[in-house]
């Protein structure tokens, strides 16, 4: 049985006040039950939404990780191709390479003076 603030006066009151008191108590108890059910539903919904968001974030992370690994591989291959092409150019044209390096050095020296 639930506690009532009107319980001490219950023994003295009979009639319409007693009916009103019991009706209010029943309504309060019904509201408590509905509030408990609503709290349970909100908690369940929140857990479901949290799991859904966590799943989506995990899938997005895996996709991002895969894309970044692909990009890193592409950059490494590009670097290797560029280095190979540079070596081949230096082997084919050693004098032009020395001349280009000298011009580049002079340009840097000229800019450094200013």
Answer whether residue 69 is part of any domain. yes
Average pLDDT of span 55-68: 89
Q: Which residue has better confidence, 11 or 18? A: 18
Answer whether residue 11 is part of any domain. no
Chain segment 77-98, per-residue pLDDT in tens: 999 999 999 999 999 999 999 9
| Cα→Cα distances 94→1, 10, 89, 101, Å | 101, 111, 8, 11
Chain segment 69-82, per-residue pLDDT in tens: 999 999 999 999 99
Answer whether residue 2 is part of any domain. no
On whether the CB atoms of residues 6 and 21 are closer than 8 A, the answer is yes
Residue 7 pLDDT exceeds 90:
no
Task: Give me Rg for the CA atoms of the chain.
Answer: 41
2: Cβ contacts below 8 Å, ≥ 6 apart: 25, 29
The pTM (predicted TM-score) of the whole model is: 0.44
Give the chain's domain count: 1
4: Cβ contacts below 8 Å, ≥ 6 apart: 10, 21, 25
Domain residues for the domain of 66 are 19-113
Answer whether residue 4 is part of any domain. no
Three-state DSSP at 76 gives helix
């Amino acid at each position: 049985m639930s506690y009532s603030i009107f319980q001490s006066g219950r023994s003295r009151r009979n009639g319409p006040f007693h009916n009103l008191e019991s009706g209010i108590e029943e309504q309060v108890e019904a509201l408590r039950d509905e509030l408990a059910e609503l709290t349970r539903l909100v908690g369940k919904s929140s857990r479901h939404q949290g799991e859904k968001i966590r799943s989506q974030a995990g899938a997005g992370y895996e996709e991002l990780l895969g894309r970044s690994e692909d990009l890193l591989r592409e950059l490494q291959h590009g670097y290797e191709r560029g280095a190979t092409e540079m070596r081949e150019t230096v082997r084919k044209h050693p004098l032009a390479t020395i001349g280009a390096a000298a011009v580049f050095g002079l340009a840097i020296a000229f800019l450094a003076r200013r």
